[in-house]
Amino acid sequence: MVFKEFSVYLNGLHIVYLLNPSHRFEFRMLKRPRMMVLHDTGPIPLTIEDYYEKSVNELGQPKTHFVITDTGRIYQTLPINVCGNHVRKRNDISIGVSLHNLTPSKPMSSAMRYSLYKLRDALSVEFGSLKVKTHRELLVDDVKELTDRLGISSEIDFTSLLTLVGSELENYKHRLMDWVRDNIDEPLYTEMLIERIGEVVECPGGYPTYSSIMRSRL
Protein backbone atom coordinates (compact mmCIF):
# COMPACT_ATOMS: atom_id res chain seq x y z
CA MET A 1 0.00 0.00 0.00
CA VAL A 2 1.95 2.99 -1.31
CA PHE A 3 0.45 6.41 -0.75
CA LYS A 4 1.57 9.55 -2.51
CA GLU A 5 1.31 13.06 -1.13
CA PHE A 6 1.20 16.28 -3.14
CA SER A 7 1.08 19.87 -1.98
CA VAL A 8 -1.90 21.73 -3.44
CA TYR A 9 -3.41 25.13 -2.75
CA LEU A 10 -7.07 26.09 -2.50
CA ASN A 11 -7.39 29.87 -2.73
CA GLY A 12 -4.05 30.24 -0.96
CA LEU A 13 -4.67 27.54 1.69
CA HIS A 14 -2.01 24.81 1.76
CA ILE A 15 -3.44 21.28 1.61
CA VAL A 16 -1.79 17.87 1.34
CA TYR A 17 -3.45 15.75 -1.36
CA LEU A 18 -3.35 12.08 -0.36
CA LEU A 19 -3.60 9.47 -3.08
CA ASN A 20 -3.31 5.71 -3.29
CA PRO A 21 -2.62 5.16 -7.01
CA SER A 22 -3.48 1.47 -6.79
CA HIS A 23 -7.20 2.38 -6.58
CA ARG A 24 -9.40 3.40 -9.47
CA PHE A 25 -12.73 5.03 -8.70
CA GLU A 26 -15.86 5.89 -10.65
CA PHE A 27 -17.27 9.15 -9.38
CA ARG A 28 -20.45 11.14 -9.75
CA MET A 29 -19.81 14.79 -10.50
CA LEU A 30 -20.48 17.42 -7.84
CA LYS A 31 -21.72 20.49 -9.67
CA ARG A 32 -22.05 23.18 -7.00
CA PRO A 33 -22.00 22.31 -3.30
CA ARG A 34 -24.24 24.24 -0.94
CA MET A 35 -23.00 22.93 2.39
CA MET A 36 -20.01 21.56 4.26
CA VAL A 37 -20.74 18.53 6.46
CA LEU A 38 -18.54 17.67 9.45
CA HIS A 39 -17.78 14.10 10.51
CA ASP A 40 -15.25 12.33 12.69
CA THR A 41 -13.11 9.38 11.69
CA GLY A 42 -14.73 7.01 14.23
CA PRO A 43 -14.21 5.90 17.84
CA ILE A 44 -11.06 3.85 17.12
CA PRO A 45 -7.86 5.86 16.50
CA LEU A 46 -6.70 5.47 12.91
CA THR A 47 -3.91 6.88 10.81
CA ILE A 48 -4.99 9.02 7.88
CA GLU A 49 -3.99 6.20 5.53
CA ASP A 50 -5.96 3.58 7.50
CA TYR A 51 -9.04 5.83 7.47
CA TYR A 52 -8.66 6.23 3.70
CA GLU A 53 -8.45 2.46 3.19
CA LYS A 54 -11.30 1.76 5.62
CA SER A 55 -13.53 4.15 3.65
CA VAL A 56 -12.56 2.55 0.34
CA ASN A 57 -13.23 -0.96 1.69
CA GLU A 58 -16.63 -0.02 3.14
CA LEU A 59 -17.88 2.55 0.61
CA GLY A 60 -15.91 1.93 -2.56
CA GLN A 61 -14.15 5.31 -2.40
CA PRO A 62 -12.78 7.79 0.15
CA LYS A 63 -15.68 8.94 2.34
CA THR A 64 -15.07 12.69 2.59
CA HIS A 65 -13.19 15.27 0.57
CA PHE A 66 -10.97 16.44 3.42
CA VAL A 67 -9.53 15.19 6.71
CA ILE A 68 -8.18 17.63 9.32
CA THR A 69 -5.70 16.39 11.93
CA ASP A 70 -5.15 17.44 15.53
CA THR A 71 -2.09 19.41 14.42
CA GLY A 72 -4.15 21.34 11.89
CA ARG A 73 -2.85 19.66 8.76
CA ILE A 74 -5.49 19.40 6.05
CA TYR A 75 -5.51 16.33 3.82
CA GLN A 76 -7.56 16.14 0.65
CA THR A 77 -8.72 12.68 -0.42
CA LEU A 78 -11.23 13.53 -3.16
CA PRO A 79 -11.39 16.19 -5.88
CA ILE A 80 -13.85 18.90 -4.94
CA ASN A 81 -15.74 18.45 -8.21
CA VAL A 82 -16.88 14.86 -7.38
CA CYS A 83 -19.37 13.49 -4.86
CA GLY A 84 -18.23 11.99 -1.60
CA ASN A 85 -20.10 9.19 0.14
CA HIS A 86 -20.71 10.60 3.59
CA VAL A 87 -24.30 11.73 4.12
CA ARG A 88 -27.65 10.43 2.90
CA LYS A 89 -29.52 12.48 0.28
CA ARG A 90 -26.92 15.26 0.31
CA ASN A 91 -23.76 13.84 -1.26
CA ASP A 92 -24.49 15.71 -4.48
CA ILE A 93 -24.71 19.10 -2.74
CA SER A 94 -22.06 18.86 -0.03
CA ILE A 95 -18.37 18.82 0.75
CA GLY A 96 -17.48 16.28 3.43
CA VAL A 97 -14.86 17.01 6.10
CA SER A 98 -13.65 14.43 8.62
CA LEU A 99 -12.07 15.54 11.90
CA HIS A 100 -9.29 13.05 12.58
CA ASN A 101 -9.56 10.92 15.74
CA LEU A 102 -11.96 13.39 17.40
CA THR A 103 -13.99 11.69 20.15
CA PRO A 104 -16.42 12.91 22.83
CA SER A 105 -13.65 12.60 25.44
CA LYS A 106 -11.10 14.53 23.37
CA PRO A 107 -11.69 18.27 22.90
CA MET A 108 -10.92 19.76 19.53
CA SER A 109 -7.46 21.32 19.38
CA SER A 110 -7.12 24.99 18.53
CA ALA A 111 -5.04 23.99 15.47
CA MET A 112 -7.80 21.71 14.15
CA ARG A 113 -10.43 24.38 14.76
CA TYR A 114 -8.34 27.07 13.04
CA SER A 115 -7.79 24.87 9.98
CA LEU A 116 -11.51 24.07 9.84
CA TYR A 117 -12.32 27.78 9.69
CA LYS A 118 -9.63 28.41 7.07
CA LEU A 119 -10.95 25.53 4.94
CA ARG A 120 -14.50 26.84 5.26
CA ASP A 121 -13.33 30.27 4.09
CA ALA A 122 -11.33 28.84 1.16
CA LEU A 123 -14.29 26.74 0.01
CA SER A 124 -16.60 29.75 0.32
CA VAL A 125 -14.33 31.70 -2.02
CA GLU A 126 -14.54 28.80 -4.47
CA PHE A 127 -18.28 28.11 -4.27
CA GLY A 128 -19.91 31.03 -2.48
CA SER A 129 -21.26 30.97 1.06
CA LEU A 130 -21.64 27.40 2.37
CA LYS A 131 -23.92 26.29 5.17
CA VAL A 132 -21.90 24.27 7.70
CA LYS A 133 -23.56 21.44 9.65
CA THR A 134 -22.44 18.40 11.57
CA HIS A 135 -23.51 14.95 10.46
CA ARG A 136 -25.56 14.68 13.65
CA GLU A 137 -27.47 17.87 12.86
CA LEU A 138 -28.46 16.47 9.47
CA LEU A 139 -29.51 13.12 10.95
CA VAL A 140 -31.76 14.95 13.41
CA ASP A 141 -33.07 17.12 10.54
CA ASP A 142 -34.07 13.88 8.77
CA VAL A 143 -36.02 12.75 11.85
CA LYS A 144 -37.73 16.13 12.06
CA GLU A 145 -38.66 16.07 8.37
CA LEU A 146 -40.50 12.78 8.81
CA THR A 147 -42.16 13.71 12.12
CA ASP A 148 -43.38 16.95 10.53
CA ARG A 149 -44.95 14.89 7.74
CA LEU A 150 -46.65 12.69 10.34
CA GLY A 151 -47.74 15.66 12.49
CA ILE A 152 -45.99 14.39 15.63
CA SER A 153 -43.04 16.79 15.94
CA SER A 154 -44.45 18.20 19.18
CA GLU A 155 -43.97 14.75 20.76
CA ILE A 156 -40.22 14.69 20.05
CA ASP A 157 -37.56 16.32 22.22
CA PHE A 158 -35.18 17.33 19.44
CA THR A 159 -32.80 19.03 21.86
CA SER A 160 -32.22 15.71 23.64
CA LEU A 161 -31.82 13.91 20.34
CA LEU A 162 -29.21 16.48 19.33
CA THR A 163 -27.24 16.90 22.57
CA LEU A 164 -27.41 13.75 24.71
CA VAL A 165 -24.33 11.54 24.73
CA GLY A 166 -23.39 7.94 25.49
CA SER A 167 -25.93 5.75 27.25
CA GLU A 168 -28.30 8.70 27.79
CA LEU A 169 -28.60 9.16 24.02
CA GLU A 170 -29.11 5.44 23.42
CA ASN A 171 -31.73 5.20 26.18
CA TYR A 172 -33.64 8.18 24.79
CA LYS A 173 -33.54 6.75 21.26
CA HIS A 174 -34.93 3.42 22.50
CA ARG A 175 -37.75 5.15 24.43
CA LEU A 176 -38.55 7.21 21.36
CA MET A 177 -38.60 4.18 19.07
CA ASP A 178 -40.90 2.34 21.49
CA TRP A 179 -43.25 5.35 21.49
CA VAL A 180 -43.31 5.36 17.69
CA ARG A 181 -44.16 1.65 17.58
CA ASP A 182 -47.00 2.13 20.06
CA ASN A 183 -48.50 5.30 18.58
CA ILE A 184 -47.96 5.42 14.81
CA ASP A 185 -50.36 3.22 12.87
CA GLU A 186 -48.62 3.53 9.49
CA PRO A 187 -46.21 0.60 9.09
CA LEU A 188 -44.10 2.11 6.30
CA TYR A 189 -43.59 5.42 8.09
CA THR A 190 -43.06 3.66 11.41
CA GLU A 191 -40.21 1.62 9.94
CA MET A 192 -38.67 4.67 8.28
CA LEU A 193 -38.85 6.79 11.41
CA ILE A 194 -37.39 4.09 13.65
CA GLU A 195 -34.53 3.66 11.19
CA ARG A 196 -33.80 7.41 11.16
CA ILE A 197 -33.91 7.69 14.95
CA GLY A 198 -31.52 4.74 15.22
CA GLU A 199 -29.06 6.44 12.87
CA VAL A 200 -28.53 9.47 15.13
CA VAL A 201 -24.97 9.27 16.45
CA GLU A 202 -22.47 11.43 18.33
CA CYS A 203 -20.68 12.78 15.30
CA PRO A 204 -18.36 14.59 15.12
CA GLY A 205 -16.89 13.79 18.53
CA GLY A 206 -18.46 15.77 21.36
CA TYR A 207 -19.72 18.57 19.11
CA PRO A 208 -23.37 18.07 18.12
CA THR A 209 -23.62 21.28 16.09
CA TYR A 210 -21.35 23.61 14.18
CA SER A 211 -22.34 26.41 16.55
CA SER A 212 -21.04 24.31 19.48
CA ILE A 213 -17.65 24.17 17.72
CA MET A 214 -17.69 27.95 17.29
CA ARG A 215 -18.61 28.47 20.95
CA SER A 216 -15.68 26.27 22.03
CA ARG A 217 -13.02 28.54 20.52
CA LEU A 218 -10.06 29.05 22.84
Cα gap 72→212, rounded to integer Å: 19
Q: What is the pLDDT of residue 217?
A: 61
The per-residue pLDDT string of the chain (218 residues; one tens digit each, 9 = 90 and over) reads 689 999 999 999 999 999 999 988 888 999 889 999 999 998 888 999 999 999 999 999 999 999 999 999 999 999 999 999 999 889 999 999 999 999 888 889 999 999 999 999 999 999 999 999 999 999 999 999 999 999 999 999 999 999 998 899 999 999 999 999 999 988 888 999 999 999 999 889 889 999 988 887 64
Work out the burial of residue 77: count CB atoms within 10 Å of its CB; fewer than 13 is exposed, 13-18 middle, 19 or more buried: buried
Q: What are phi and psi of 31, to 5 degrees?
A: -75, -60
140-162 in b/e burial notation, b at 16+ Cβ within 10 A?
A: bebbbebbeebebeeebeeeebb
For the chain, give every domain's residue range.
4-134+203-215, 136-199
Q: What is the pLDDT of residue 215?
A: 80
Q: What is the pLDDT of residue 148?
A: 95
Q: Closest Cα partner for 199 from 207, 191, 187?
A: 191
Q: What are phi and psi of 210, to 5 degrees?
A: -65, -35
Q: Which fold has domain 4-134+203-215?
A: Lysozyme-like (3.40.80)
Q: What angle do CA 195, 91, 203 make, to 5 degrees?
A: 55
**DSSP label of 153:** G
Q: What is the pLDDT of residue 106?
A: 82
